Amino acid sequence: MTLTRLHDPQSRSFASDNYAGAHPAVLAAIAAANDGHQPAYGEDVYTRRLQEVIRAHFGARAEVFPVFNGTGANVIALTAVLPRWGAVIAPDTAHIHTDEAGAPERVTGLKLLTVPSADGKLTPELVAREAWGWGDEHRPQPLAVSITQTTERGTLYTPDEIRAVADYAHAHGMAVHLDGARIWNAAAALGVPLREFTTDASVDVLSLGGTKNGLLGAEAVVVLDPDRAAGLTYLRKLGMQLASKMRFLSAQLLALFDDDLGLRNAAHANAMTARLRAALAAGIADGRLPGLRFTQDSPANAIFAVLPEGMADRLRRRVHFYDWDAARREVRWMTAWDTTPEDVDRFVAIIFDEFGSSPPSVKPRL
């Protein structure tokens, strides 16, 4: 059978790590899992092996539940830690609040209690703004806290910062959920194992991302403290996230742990963002990029920047990316596991060209 390619395989953008294709090792893992028959609904050898790997990385009590996508992981994870009357405290930038079409509230019936956060991070002091009203029948009960690593603003929690939030939450009877859509980028940026800022930092339930880091389409809910999260076996089916041919989801997730592929992919994406940022910082410093400024210290694979009036639209005629806050002229540039140094240098040249300047003659060594 002849397959027709409908896109230009040389096309590159800086819009989202979701734009990248699947890593060849992931496609190979799917193919390796394909021949013959395996039991359905997670009784296969790949899902059993995934459980062993997850426990090796997150602790002996960890339980893994592969799902199709990140929204499904977040909805099911939060449902597992809350009663019907529960509420979740989250930053106002949280993906569960801004980018999931109301799914957490509509599907589960929970209430989101958001607090303003310029950098996308929560602190015990910010959590305290909504951590009140227990026993008041007129108020949804704040019984969980949700944080994101890395955050939607590209920022990063240290393990100590996560532990501080978790300690405060637990002291007030609340569970802690971590949305780890870009958890691999966080681990690569921090230089620590996944466990150090999840299990060891007292997170209770984790949405483990994969699609943004080279998977074809697989995420997982990882229960780190089974005492605080119940019913995942039933909730996954109820939430339409139970794969019959689960071996193909599990094989993809296993691929990220094999030979540190997930960390290597994320470290590369982070390095490409650092390369882009260094080149732009040089242009800002010597006045060749007037009006461009960074708005966040984002150490992983995202850059947030403000551009002069009209510049974003001019640049977008040549390279695709998204506005983050159009009213502020703030944009987001992202790199992925397959972004190359040449991709970055080409984008840098375009930016300098639109500013009427010459790009750096010496490329940053990263």
Asked, colleague to colleague, whether 17-259 and 262-354 share their fold, the answer is no
Residue 137: which residues within 8 A CB-CB, separation 6 or more? none
Residue 134 in contact with residue 163, Cβ under 8 Å? no
pLDDT on residue 4: 87
Distance separating alpha carbons of residues 200 and 258, to the nearest angstrom? 22
**DSSP designation for 260:** G
**DSSP designation for 220:** E
Distance separating alpha carbons of residues 196 and 199, to the nearest angstrom? 7
3-state secondary structure (DSSP) of residue 143: strand
Partners of residue 176 on adjacent β-strands? 145
Dihedral over Cα of 333, 335, 339, 345: its sign? positive
b/e per residue 33-67 (b: at least 16 CB within 10 A): beeeebeeebebebbebbbebbeebbeeebbbbbb
The pairing of beta strand 86-91 with beta strand 111-115: parallel
SS3 of the chain: helix, strand, coil, percent, to 5: 40, 15, 45
Residue 189: which residues within 8 A CB-CB, separation 6 or more? 150, 156, 270, 299, 300
For the chain, 366 residues long, give each residue's pLDDT as a single digit of tens: 778 899 998 889 999 999 999 999 999 999 999 999 999 999 999 999 999 999 999 999 999 999 999 999 999 999 999 999 999 999 999 999 999 999 999 998 999 999 999 999 999 999 999 999 999 999 999 999 999 999 999 999 999 999 999 999 999 999 999 999 999 999 999 999 999 999 999 999 999 999 999 999 999 999 999 999 999 999 999 999 999 999 999 999 999 999 999 999 999 999 999 999 999 999 999 999 999 999 999 899 999 999 999 999 999 999 999 999 999 999 999 999 999 999 999 999 999 999 998 887 655 455
Residue 297: which residues within 8 A CB-CB, separation 6 or more? 155
b/e per residue 83-100 (b: at least 16 CB within 10 A): eeebbbbbbebbbbbeeb
The kind and range of the H/E element at 294 are strand 293-294
Distance separating alpha carbons of residues 333 and 324, to the nearest angstrom? 9
Residue the block writes with tokens 């958890």: 183
Distance separating alpha carbons of residues 80 and 288, to the nearest angstrom? 52
Partners of residue 90 on adjacent β-strands? 114
pLDDT on residue 363: 53
CATH number of 262-354: 3.90.1150.10
CATH number of 17-259: 3.40.640.10
pLDDT on residue 361: 66
Residue 158: which residues within 8 A CB-CB, separation 6 or more? 190, 197
Q: What is the pTM of this model?
A: 0.95
pLDDT on residue 2: 79
List the domain boundaries for the chain.
Answer: 17-259, 262-354
Residue 330 in contact with residue 305, Cβ under 8 Å? yes
By C-alpha distance, which of 1, 20, 23, 50 is closest to 248? Answer: 50
| Amino acid letter, 293 | R
**Beta strand residue intervals within 93-166, DSSP E:** 111-115, 141-148
